[in-house]
Amino acid sequence: MMVDTARRSGDGPRQAEAIFTAVLELLAEHGYDGLTVEGVAARSGVHKTTIYRWWADKDALLGAALLNSALLELPVPDTGSLRGDLLALTRHVLRLLTTEPSASVVTAALAAAGRPVLAGLAHKFFADRFDRELVLFERAVARGELPADTDAKLVVDLLAGAVWTRVLLRQERPPADFAAQAVDLVLAALSNRKVHPNTRNVPA
Amino acid sequence: MMVDTARRSGDGPRQAEAIFTAVLELLAEHGYDGLTVEGVAARSGVHKTTIYRWWADKDALLGAALLNSALLELPVPDTGSLRGDLLALTRHVLRLLTTEPSASVVTAALAAAGRPVLAGLAHKFFADRFDRELVLFERAVARGELPADTDAKLVVDLLAGAVWTRVLLRQERPPADFAAQAVDLVLAALSNRKVHPNTRNVPA
Amino acid sequence: MMVDTARRSGDGPRQAEAIFTAVLELLAEHGYDGLTVEGVAARSGVHKTTIYRWWADKDALLGAALLNSALLELPVPDTGSLRGDLLALTRHVLRLLTTEPSASVVTAALAAAGRPVLAGLAHKFFADRFDRELVLFERAVARGELPADTDAKLVVDLLAGAVWTRVLLRQERPPADFAAQAVDLVLAALSNRKVHPNTRNVPA
Amino acid sequence: MMVDTARRSGDGPRQAEAIFTAVLELLAEHGYDGLTVEGVAARSGVHKTTIYRWWADKDALLGAALLNSALLELPVPDTGSLRGDLLALTRHVLRLLTTEPSASVVTAALAAAGRPVLAGLAHKFFADRFDRELVLFERAVARGELPADTDAKLVVDLLAGAVWTRVLLRQERPPADFAAQAVDLVLAALSNRKVHPNTRNVPA
DNA sequence: TGTTAAGCGAGACGGTACGTCGTGTCTTAAC
DNA sequence: GTTAAGACACGACGTACCGTCTCGCTTAACA
């Protein structure tokens, strides 16, 4: 009798889920350094050799676990207004970085971004997620809330980046209205960009 | 009894400079993992135990090297206009993240930011630097370019964060006018917010 | 699940022989202090960590090497007479302490006898060997050469001890007939004891 | 104003006594390995450098401390009878090896005997002491208790050696009458050596 | 229903770096 | 001129984890 035939195609060991769970738990508990393949093997009940059979090294394993994880999902909000959407997005990022267990994972993943192997992953991971948010802007344009030539990517980077910077670099817990302030500041710019395009005649 | 004739102050080994240099070089060349105390010892010509006498571990050593380094200095620009100052600041951050050797160092240091020991350092390091930039805004307020209640920290975080996000998370090389676009977008918001007494006729 | 095909018994690394050889060579060449685990690893071609996997520390390793070694074997002589047996035994001990490579090994092992870990080993090692010699006396009793109540252990300790003292403590090379003289002196006592046990009424 | 002019002649630092005390205490407490120059410096309140100025290395220091110590003195008994003298001697050796603090020191010194530097010392130390006991035999010969050609050195080695072997090699605590039995056995031989020279016609 | 190949458990191993401890040398002042 | 103070090179310690290997057992797909 065959069980679980689908999940058998060279895409990972039979216990992949248990392994990923162990990876993320250890990552959250002990940080990147505390995440050891031997520890993952012990906690997941899978032999170390088996892990190495499927992933080249610790970073590859971490990459797979992160990609597989729902922890860092970024939903695409649809509140009906650009402001609502951006607020939801910014707040979600803020929540990711400030509440457990995602905060630990993100912090550790940030550490991983400095590593060659995971750099590509970070790109794929974060950029993909942010790119998926670009629909927000398309909808806003459709709604007439925005001119079509708005640089949506820049806006996302400003907002997400402000959160990253405040939480991870400054290591501060931002005020409750941080997201709202950031969003409103950016929106103020967008709504009046064409009105006062005072970016002229200033030499770079 | 401490004596302190010339280069004797209990603040580090005699070869501290050589050690820091080796640390940053190895960090730039091989990343955080490739930065080993033994490697530093070998390259700097100082014995491993001497290093351990002064710094508790690898992270403390890295912290000291980063703090000591001029590589990551953030000058406080003074161009005469808020826009010019912000542009200079943003471009400087961008340059830090995209040109060698600082890019490698920052990238590798980013990997280290996930570690407890260096988290505090990151705070001290980045926050201090950003905070020092707040004078820009005081000057702008004095010049009448800005209302006094502007959230300067938020602005800095937006701009610096956009650069971090674009370069490190997205792993993209931003377009040449990225800094200008970001700064102008933010300025549009600021100028707009208080109606429009703004940054005109001020040469950069 | 243990399998144990050929040379697999959980009793030591695959290269145990090479390791023991290296241990004894280094011990003989450079003494106890010159015996380093790293040196053993280098000479035996086995990695240091492998050695530590099987023996807790340097002393445990030395202990194992000594126990494994045939260098310090004490054969049980069987010459047909008690005198011949004791002579053979005493001369063997003398030879152990005065000819290479055993002399170096014993000398170095002596240095180790002061250590807790090896103290137990010394007990096991020397006591076992000496005890094995007690048959000599049983045979002599059976032959009628000795009364049954002879304190064999004392005799062995006297003879072996005389050699130890002369060679190691006095650091003298004993005369050629040293063994014979010692044995004969002791035998004179034994043979005499049962004829006229004159050890009475003598005040301490 | 000069104090203590006598004890100033290149024979050691001013705090020599404190140093020797520390050496012997540490030796007794932690064994040879636990005896560190740094520990001696710390305990004696003398700087490490000072110690090294006077003694070449750890072993030389230990040697000096042992020679200076009264701990290992071997008194020359004079009880009026050979048996009494030998008994006193043997018991003294036994006591040295079995009661603190001398036992620890001797054990550790034994370990030191395996070291080249201290080998000479051991010779000087033990042999000298044993040799001083030879007067016992001269007195016994004078008293007519012994023939003049008795090999006194052999007798001392037998007795002292039996104690060493029993206590240090066998690691056993000898019975209360051990010394008496050994002495009596040897005396039995001496008193009848010429009477029953049964050392004939046995092949070596 | 076997056969066969892949997955997997088990664990020894070489290897790199860790952070620690002790040795013995040195330099620099202070007494 | 001896001593105190202490930084230093050096060598070894014993540990942790890495990633590789060999060897059989197991298991499922296929013949």
Mean pLDDT check: name the lowest of A121-130, C84-93, D64-73: A121-130
Predicted pLDDT at C201: 40
Contacts of B193 in chain A (CB under 8 A): 185, 188
> Is B58 near strand E, with its CB below 7 A from some atom of it?
yes
Mean pLDDT check: name the lowest of A60-64, D9-13, D106-110, D169-173: D9-13
Predicted pLDDT at A88: 96
Protein CA at A21 to nucleotide C1' at F20, angstroms? 25
> Is C54 near strand E, with its CB below 7 A from some atom of it?
yes
3-state SS assignment for residue A117: helix
Interface residues 27-66 of B with strand F (CB < 7 Å): 45-50, 53-54
Average pLDDT over residues B48-63: 92
Q: What is the pTM of this model?
A: 0.80
> Is C33 near strand F, with its CB below 7 A from some atom of it?
no
Cα separation, B139 vs A164, whole angstroms: 27
Is the pLDDT score of A9 beyond 50?
no
> Is C48 near strand F, with its CB below 7 A from some atom of it?
yes
The nucleotide closest to C14 (CA, C1' atoms): E12
Average pLDDT over residues C198-202: 40
3-state SS assignment for residue A119: helix
Who has greater pLDDT, D189 or B87?
Answer: B87
**Given pLDDT bands bounded at 50, 70 and 90, which one contains residue B142?**
very high
Nearest protein residue to nucleotide E7 (CA to C1' distance) is A13
Protein CA at B186 to nucleotide C1' at F5, angstroms? 59
Residue contact B164–A159, C-beta within 8 A: no
Interface residues 2-41 of D with strand E (CB < 7 Å): 35-39
**Given pLDDT bands bounded at 50, 70 and 90, which one contains residue D157?**
very high
Residue contact D171–C122, C-beta within 8 A: yes
**Number of other residues whose CB lies within 10 A of the CB of residue C61:** 21
Predicted pLDDT at C137: 92
Who has greater pLDDT, B120 or C70?
Answer: C70
Contacts of A163 in chain B (CB under 8 A): 161
Among C126, C158, C170, select the one facing D162 at the smallest CB separation: C158
| Same fold yes or no, B16-68 and B82-193 | no
B168, two tokens: 């490190």
Is the pLDDT score of D199 beyond 80?
no
D with C: touching (≥3 Cβ pairs within 8 Å): yes
Protein CA at A43 to nucleotide C1' at F28, angstroms? 26
Nucleotides of strand F under 7 angstroms from a protein beta carbon: 2-25, 28-29
Query: Per-domain residue ranges for chain D?
Result: 16-68, 82-192
Is the pLDDT score of A64 beyond 70?
yes
Is the pLDDT score of C75 beyond 80?
yes
Render pLDDT for C5-53 as a digit per residue (tens, 0 to 9).
334 445 788 899 999 999 999 998 998 888 999 999 999 999 999 999 9
In the CATH hierarchy, which fold is given to the domain comprising B16-68?
A: Arc Repressor Mutant, subunit A (1.10.10)
Cα separation values, C110 from C56, C173, D106, D170, Å: 20, 17, 12, 13
Average pLDDT over residues C70-88: 90
The nucleotide closest to B55 (CA, C1' atoms): E19
CA angle at B146 for the pair B143 and B148, rounded to the nearest 5°: 100
How close is the nearest chain D Cα to the Cα of C116, in Å? Answer: 9
Residue contact B155–A185, C-beta within 8 A: yes
**Given pLDDT bands bounded at 50, 70 and 90, which one contains residue C198?**
very low
Protein CA at D19 to nucleotide C1' at E30, angstroms? 22
Protein CA at B123 to nucleotide C1' at E21, angstroms? 34
Residue contact B188–A196, C-beta within 8 A: yes
3-state SS assignment for residue A130: helix
Mean pLDDT check: name the lowest of A94-98, B176-180, D131-135: D131-135
Question: Considering Cα of D89, then D90, then D95, then D96, what sign does the dihedral take?
Answer: positive
Protein CA at C169 to nucleotide C1' at E16, angstroms? 45
Is the pLDDT score of B170 beyond 90?
no
User: Looking at domain D82-192, does it have CATH number 1.10.357.10?
Assistant: yes
Predicted pLDDT at A5: 34
Least Cα distance to C171 among B36, A166, B45, D112 occurs for: D112
Is the pLDDT score of B31 beyond 50?
yes
Render pLDDT for A10-19 as a digit per residue (tens, 0 to 9).
577 788 899 9
Mean pLDDT check: name the lowest of B78-87, D158-167, D195-204: D195-204
Who has greater pLDDT, D105 or B9?
Answer: D105
Q: Evaluate whether A162 touches A182 at the Cβ level (below 8 Å).
A: yes
Contacts of D122 in chain C (CB under 8 A): 168-169, 171
> Is A58 near strand F, with its CB below 7 A from some atom of it?
yes
Residue contact C32–D123, C-beta within 8 A: no
Predicted pLDDT at C18: 94
Contacts of C159 in chain D (CB under 8 A): 158
Protein CA at B189 to nucleotide C1' at E20, angstroms? 58
Instruction: Name chain A's partners: 3 or more CB pairs within 8 A.
Output: B
Alpha helix locations (H) across C114-177? Answer: 116-122, 128-132, 134-143, 152-164
Is the pLDDT score of D103 beyond 80?
yes
Nearest protein residue to nucleotide F21 (CA to C1' distance) is A49
Render pLDDT for D107-148 as a digit per residue (tens, 0 to 9).
777 766 666 666 667 777 777 888 889 899 999 999 988 888
**Given pLDDT bands bounded at 50, 70 and 90, which one contains residue B2?**
very low
Most confident of A109-113, D53-57, D69-73: D53-57
Which CATH superfamily does the domain covering C82-193 fall into? Answer: Tetracycline Repressor, domain 2 (1.10.357.10)
Q: Which residues are CB-contacts of D131 (< 8 A; sequence separation ≥ 6)? A: D153
Contacts of D202 in chain C (CB under 8 A): 79, 81, 83-84, 87
Among D189, D192, D199, select the one facing C83 at the smallest CB separation: D199
Predicted pLDDT at C40: 96
> Is D54 near strand E, with its CB below 7 A from some atom of it?
no
Radius of gyration of chain D (CA): 21
Contacts of A123 in chain B (CB under 8 A): 169-172
> Is B15 near strand F, with its CB below 7 A from some atom of it?
yes
Contacts of D33 in chain C (CB under 8 A): 115
Cα separation, B118 vs B110, whole angstroms: 10
The nucleotide closest to B1 (CA, C1' atoms): F5
What 8-state DSSP symbol labels residue A176? Answer: T
Average pLDDT over residues A178-197: 78
Mean pLDDT check: name the lowest of A85-94, B40-49, B194-203, C29-38: B194-203
Average pLDDT over residues C121-140: 83
- Return the exposure string of C32-52: e unless at least 16 CB atoms fall within 10 Å of the residue's CB, then b: beebebebbbeebebeeeebe
